[in-house]
Structure 1
Amino acid sequence: MSEVDALPLTRPLTASDFDQVVAIDAKIIGRSRPGFFRKRLAAALAEPGYFIYIACESENKLQGFLLARLLGGEYGEAQSIAVLDALGVAPVSQGKGIGTLLIQEFERILRRKHMREIQTQTDWRRFSFLRFLFANGFLVAPVYVLEREVSNLDTRLRVDPVANHETASGELDYSDTGTRGGETLARDRVPCRSLARGDLETLIRINRKVTGLEMREFFQRKVKEVLDESGIRVSLVAEVDGQPAGFIMARVDYGEFGRTEPAAVLDAIAVDPAYGRQQVGSALLSQLLSNLTSLRLEAIRTVVLSNRFDLLSFLTKNGFKPGQRLTFSKRID
């Protein structure tokens, strides 16, 4: 075979590549994640327009792969972004430019779709991958990855966990002062129930009040993800006097961004400003953490823009701390 014939080529990743993808990934991270890839494949088959899966092969053998999702409204942003979930190159083929070839094909597809930003996460100790990201034009993004252990949240003694202030956009804090003395948990004062498909319009309405953005497509996809794709339903709606007062959207992740252990992911939390200062935010988070303890998960994580001071304050006062992961982004010209 000539040298030209042996050059690696990119093509769409297909279901027939599944076993090879799992095998390559296992060699890289030291643990097999078939469940993660199976869920991603099922989601892509159901909504192919929101996923980009690329294969790189040489001599009719898979040498590398790239998995990405197209999101709108993530992290409170209005614009759409492409999230790089997984990228792997077979150990025997590393150092040959296959990873860069996958990124270049990824960017070509995104330009065609008129998308202008890629985001991804990785542990700061993955030095080889950090060098790869730097070499391919990625920079540290103004986004914090926060984590806390999954344990019950004690809200009995909380008097004013977050000052009730308003941002320039009219957004209110996600937590409120409780009753003075607070002898009961916030979730006992504010009942929370499981999120249902019929809550979609409620989510859109509350978010519109908080952010001023419609974000209908984002919530349509997020409801589908947390109810259909996650496998375990943990998202909640809080009610005051029988009326929806806030919501928290979360899911269980089995391998995003190269993680080997399952963890809960907090995607969104919002409280209707009409129900401010009634511990709605604390009740939602408290009930979520209580539910997650039964799943024997060790951690819950979330991602927050660096200028979301109200949300950062609420989360840090409720036990969230910076994790060992960094977010990187790349603008596509």
Structure 2
Amino acid sequence: MKPIWNCPPAMAKATNHAKGPPMTKDQAPPEIKPLSAADLEAVIAIDKATTGLSRRGYFEKRLDAATARPRDYVYVGLHEGGALAGYAFAKLVNGEFGKPGAGAALDAIGVAPGHTGRGFGRHLLGAVEDILRKKGVATLSSQINWSDPAMSGFFCAAGFDLAPRLVLTRSTETIAPQLPGERVDDWDDEPDYSAPDGDDADALSHDRVPVRSLRDTDLRKIISIDKASTGTDRSDYYERKLHESLFQSGVRVSLVAEMEDYPVGFIMARVDFGEFGHTSPEAEMDSIGVDPGYQGQGVGRALMAQLISSLAVLQVETLRTEVNWDDVGLISYLRSCGFVPAQRISLVRQLG
């Protein structure tokens, strides 16, 4: 059933404040074109003017990734009078969380304060959507703070609906150890939750189930584990994740669990300062999987414990993930690991 999201008139108009000056008769019309390295400082300045914070590291990494693998990203800027007046970034996430079909996420969009109220944001979003359609992308998603009426109004007026997804989060405090005699997992069968899901935590991950960093030689096994659980070959998806992990330093934390020196599970998280407009050090977990032959042996718990420990060392404050609202098994597992509902809303727009 399609979610119902009525857009109140007041909310739909929430982005029309602080209007900039109208275009003069001799002024050239705005132009939308791909961003380049020369636009980086202007992007950072617009973002700082609208958020009050400098997210240089985030935009540097995002633009580097976009120019290195342009087929996986959309990055456009709106120029007026020779200056950048707005920008938008989106990335392909096809295959994420086991969902079929190509999808993309809009994770950054901004308009310079002096140019608001003139429809520039909608023009940028429209340009992103046109490019994604040409790439064969069927859906565009994003997240917003539930209490942000301006962004709610913007996305509502642009045709976005509530997505049937839940955003969950937890701090990077250590996961509570399991007591002797406890089941090593919270379910009998520990499926692959790659979605679009002593006695301390370090001892658990290093002694009972050793966990190490991902290596390029692990790719085939990761794809095999995922295919055994989902029935789908998502090689392109994991090749992209491996590239991010190995060549975008500081962006991705990816781990592999071993038993008898054999890879039996994996977990992947991305560390981004500023994704979806979030302005605190946060990571997003987007993939976790366990070999069917080793399910029920604590592999998933060990992976999560080591991920939390690694993120804490990096001074990441929170870990976020997104799950289908009716995926009871995954939600139960995440709840046992300390996840709670985030104060964020997941949105989606069909591009067909």
**Given the two structures, how large is their TM-score scaled by the length of structure 2?**
0.86
> Which residue of structure 2 lines up, in the alignment, with residue 228 of structure 1?
247
Deviation at 1:33, TM superposition (A): 0.7
Per-residue CA deviations over 1:164-202 (Å, capped at 9, x if unaligned) read: 248xxxx4679xxxxxxxxx7365211111111110001
Letter in 2 for 1:114: G
> Which residue of structure 1 lines up, in the alignment, with residue 3 of structure 2?
none
Please show how residues 187-198 of structure 1 align to structure 2 within 5 Å: 187-198=206-217
Deviation at 1:150, TM superposition (A): 0.2
Deviation at 1:132, TM superposition (A): 0.3
> Which residue of structure 2 lines up, in the alignment, with residue 23 of structure 1?
45
Per-residue CA deviations over 1:45-84 (Å, capped at 9, x if unaligned) read: 2111111111112222211111111222112212111111
> Which residue of structure 2 lines up, in the alignment, with residue 52 of structure 1?
74
* Secondary structure in 2 matching 1:235: strand
d(CA) in 1 for partners of 2:310, 2:24:
59
Runs (4+) of structure 1 moved beyond 6 Å?
Answer: none
**Residues 298/31 of structure 1: CA separation in 2 closer, same or farther (3 Å cut):** same
Select the residue among 276, 297, 317 that pairs with 1:298.
317
d(CA) in 1 for partners of 2:84, 2:166:
35
Please show how residues 271-286 of structure 1 align to structure 2 within 5 Å: 271-286=290-305
2:332 is equivalent to residue 310 of structure 1: no
> Which residue of structure 2 lines up, in the alignment, with residue 123 of structure 1?
145
Deviation at 1:9, TM superposition (A): 2.3
> Which residue of structure 2 lines up, in the alignment, with residue 330 of structure 1?
349
2:169 is equivalent to residue 150 of structure 1: no
d(CA) in 2 for partners of 1:153, 1:61:
49
Deviation at 1:271, TM superposition (A): 0.7
Contact 1:146 1:321 in 2 (8 A): yes
d(CA) in 2 for partners of 1:4, 1:206:
61
- C-alpha RMSD of the superposition: 1.9
**Given the two structures, how large is their TM-score scaled by the length of structure 1?**
0.91
2:193 is equivalent to residue 164 of structure 1: no
> Which residue of structure 2 lines up, in the alignment, with residue 180 of structure 1?
none
Contact 2:244 2:251 in 1 (8 A): no
Deviation at 1:293, TM superposition (A): 2.1
d(CA) in 2 for partners of 1:230, 1:246:
22
d(CA) in 2 for partners of 1:208, 1:127:
41
d(CA) in 2 for partners of 1:18, 1:172:
39
Letter in 1 for 2:290: V
Deviation at 1:296, TM superposition (A): 2.1
Contact 1:153 1:289 in 2 (8 A): yes
* Secondary structure in 2 matching 1:185: helix
> Which residue of structure 2 lines up, in the alignment, with residue 99 of structure 1?
121
* Secondary structure in 2 matching 1:246: strand
**Residues 226/220 of structure 1: CA separation in 2 closer, same or farther (3 Å cut):** same
> Which residue of structure 1 lines up, in the alignment, with residue 87 of structure 2?
65
Structure 1 alignment gaps of length 5 or more: 175-183
**Residues 23/186 of structure 1: CA separation in 2 closer, same or farther (3 Å cut):** closer
Contact 2:281 2:315 in 1 (8 A): no
**Residues 302/187 of structure 1: CA separation in 2 closer, same or farther (3 Å cut):** farther
Deviation at 1:119, TM superposition (A): 0.6
* Secondary structure in 1 matching 2:124: helix
d(CA) in 2 for partners of 1:192, 1:136:
44
d(CA) in 2 for partners of 1:303, 1:11:
31
Contact 2:193 2:288 in 1 (8 A): no
2:249 is equivalent to residue 249 of structure 1: no
d(CA) in 2 for partners of 1:69, 1:186:
32
d(CA) in 2 for partners of 1:62, 1:137:
26
Letter in 1 for 2:68: A
Range with bigger deviation, 44-53 or 200-209: 44-53
d(CA) in 2 for partners of 1:107, 1:14:
19
2:98 is equivalent to residue 76 of structure 1: yes
d(CA) in 2 for partners of 1:47, 1:218:
13
2:30 is equivalent to residue 11 of structure 1: no
Structure 2 alignment gaps of length 5 or more: 1-22, 195-202
- Percent identity at matched positions? 41
Deviation at 1:5, TM superposition (A): 3.6
d(CA) in 2 for partners of 1:263, 1:277:
29
Contact 1:85 1:256 in 2 (8 A): yes
Contact 2:30 2:80 in 1 (8 A): yes
Contact 1:270 1:281 in 2 (8 A): yes
**Residues 129/232 of structure 1: CA separation in 2 closer, same or farther (3 Å cut):** closer
